[in-house]
């Protein structure tokens, strides 16, 4: 089946710094990629949808200047959390969609100290 990877799998950063998370579709070309955030004991919340070569579409309440999404190729999307704060600590999950289905990455655990 289609494989989606995320890097890093976990990261700890200091408050005020920025951190970049990569999402790659390893064996297929993803027309669309999605970014989700999940807080402990809660469900996944969609943050944004990105299509290769165009600007991401953010869900209501998600700050586009804080969560920068770049979808530079059909196999790579990045999420940059800028000026991170402790409340940004969360589990970030991406998914990649081909023409038929969505496939999820393993997630990235971000801890901001």
To other proteins, the closest distance from the beta carbon of 97 in angstroms equals 5
User: Which residues, 13 to 42, sit near other proteins by CB under 8 A?
Assistant: 31-32, 34, 36
Q: Which is nearer to other proteins, 17 or 55 (CB)?
A: 55
d(CA 33, CA 36): 10
In the complex, least distance from residue 83 CB atom to other proteins, rounded to whole angstroms: 26
SS3 state of residue 112: strand
CA distance 39 to 26: 27
44's CB contacts (< 8 A; 6+ apart) are 36, 37, 38, 93
The answer to whether residue 89 forms part of the interface with other proteins (CB under 8 A) is no
- Does 103 bind other proteins (CB under 8 A)? Our answer is yes
Can residue 58 be called a binding residue for other proteins (CB under 8 A)? no
């Amino acid at each position: 089946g289609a494989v989606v990877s995320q890097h890093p799998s976990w990261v700890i950063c200091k408050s005020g710094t920025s951190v970049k998370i990569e999402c790659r579709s390893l064996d297929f070309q993803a027309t669309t990629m999605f970014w989700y955030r999940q807080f402990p004991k809660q469900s996944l919340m969609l943050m944004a949808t990105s299509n290769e070569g165009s600007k991401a579409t953010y869900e209501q309440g998600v700050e586009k200047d804080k969560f920068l999404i770049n979808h530079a190729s059909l196999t790579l999307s990045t999420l940059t959390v800028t000026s991170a704060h402790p409340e940004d600590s969360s589990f970030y999950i991406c998914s990649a969609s081909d023409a038929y289905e969505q496939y999820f990455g393993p997630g990235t655990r971000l801890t901001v100290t």
